[in-house]
Amino acid sequence: MDTKLNAELLDSLLTISGRPNPAREEMRVWSMSGVERLTFPDGTTAIFKYAKKPFDCEDQALRLAHNLGIPVPQVLASAVQDGWLGMLLEDLGSPIRDAEDLDGATAAVVLHGTRSAASLPLLDQQGLRALPHRALDHLGQLRKEERWQDADDIGDALERIAQAADTRSAGATMAPFGWVHSEFHPTSLHIGQHGWRLLDFARAFTGPGLLDLASWHGTLDAADPVRLRAFLESYVTEGGTPDALAERGGLAAEKWALGWHRVWAVEWFMEQAIRWINDPVSDPAYIKVVRRHLTDALQLLEA
């Protein structure tokens, strides 16, 4: 982000909130967003978070979540300038410990039990079926730019998933269906002195809650249906709907969830490659991740 724009965005937030100039400490910065801790002259602190499309509606999602009773950091002020969202957020401080599986199950029960929000993007059965086709469109655009030329296997895998999607997408709107955090990982669950808060709502949508549960253990390791089944059972024990354990699309719930989560991730990575990041230098890394996720998806969805 341009330094001048960054300063102007922060100035706008300080003006809106009536706060003086703070000391700034970078916490996490990448090409599309950043997080800083601000310390004001009186010793109070706040978080300054900024992001560009497609992460530029997080303030709306956080306010909506707060209004519906989901524990999230309070949005103190927000503003948009030249396509960048800036937010002043409540500073939750350092976590007292890392989030564990039981914490994740508890938080997911609260999130998925919250009334659905019509303003969030929708991913239903039709949306799931469209994912491999959208990914194929991204691949076509990449090839028009003479990129991803040696990725015939990716196209073949997406075609196989597209052919299986009508059958395998069944059960998409079975409970839990509603709020989906979409970046539901232990690092997005802050455990503090006064309880827990969910962070990072930039890509929240309405859809199958099982996608959140499938994302909890991350995607760096191979998909582990046995581990996810145990997490689903914990989720039900903590008050989640028993339907979370039900077969859907002809598959066990854990395989359905992991398979479609990997397809969802593939489409997102490919959209980043052509639209949001659009840097040919990063193509080998994206291709490697997409291939790995597609290998998992083909096996899990039995496509």
**179: domain CATH number?**
3.90.1200.10
Q: Residue 120 above 80 pLDDT? A: yes
Q: Are residues 84 and 106 in the same domain?
A: no
Q: Residue 215 above 90 pLDDT? A: yes
What is the overall mean pLDDT for the chain?
96
Q: Are residues 82 and 192 in the same domain?
A: no
pLDDT for the residue 117: 82
Task: Provide the residue range defining the domain that includes 257.
Answer: 101-300
Residue 118 lies in a domain: yes
Percent of the chain with pLDDT over 90: 92
Q: Residue 116 above 90 pLDDT? A: no
Q: Are residues 129 and 240 in the same domain?
A: yes
Q: What is the pLDDT of residues 83-95, one digit of tens each?
A: 999 999 999 999 9
Q: Residue 1 above 80 pLDDT? A: no
Helices 283-300 and 152-168: angle between axes, nearest 10 degrees:
40
Percent of the chain with pLDDT over 70: 100
* Domain end position, chosen among 89, 119, 141: 89
Q: Are residues 267 and 155 in the same domain?
A: yes
Q: Are residues 123 and 266 in the same domain?
A: yes
Q: Are residues 260 and 114 in the same domain?
A: yes
The three-state secondary structure class of 80 is strand
Which pTM does this prediction carry?
0.95
Contacts of 28 (CB under 8 A, 6+ apart): 34, 35
pLDDT for the residue 103: 98
Residue 78 lies in a domain: yes
Residue 95 lies in a domain: no
Residue 151 corresponds to which amino acid?
A
pLDDT greater at residue 194 or residue 125: 125
Q: What is the pLDDT of residues 138-192, one digit of tens each?
A: 999 999 999 999 999 999 999 999 999 999 999 999 999 999 999 999 999 999 9
What dihedral angle (degrees, nearest 10) is formed by the CA atoms of 130, 131, 137, 140? Answer: -140
Residue 147 CA to residue 254 CA, distance in Å, equals 34
Dig out the tokens for 176 from the structure: 């839990």
Residue 159 lies in a domain: yes
Q: What is the pLDDT of residues 231-290, one digit of tens each?
A: 999 999 999 999 999 999 999 999 999 999 999 999 999 999 999 889 999 999 999 999
**CATH number for position 12:** 3.30.200.20
pLDDT for the residue 258: 98
- Rounded average pLDDT over 48-52: 96
- Rounded average pLDDT over 31-54: 95
pLDDT for the residue 246: 98
Dig out the tokens for 259 from the structure: 């398979």
Other Cβ atoms less than 10 A from the Cβ of 302: the count is 13
Q: Are residues 203 and 239 in the same domain?
A: yes
- Structurally, the chain folds into a number of domains equal to 2
Q: Are residues 62 and 197 in the same domain?
A: no
Q: What is the pLDDT of residues 14-36, one digit of tens each?
A: 999 999 999 999 999 888 899 99
pLDDT for the residue 112: 96
Contacts of 33 (CB under 8 A, 6+ apart): 49, 50, 51, 52, 55, 202
Residue 259 lies in a domain: yes
pLDDT for the residue 3: 87
Q: Are residues 107 and 80 in the same domain?
A: no
Q: Residue 221 above 90 pLDDT? A: no
Q: Are residues 186 and 284 in the same domain?
A: yes
- Rounded average pLDDT over 121-136: 98
Dig out the tokens for 119 from the structure: 């303003």
* Domain end position, chosen among 65, 89, 113: 89
Residue 96 lies in a domain: no
Q: Are residues 39 and 109 in the same domain?
A: no
pLDDT for the residue 86: 97
Residue 237 lies in a domain: yes
Q: Are residues 128 and 79 in the same domain?
A: no
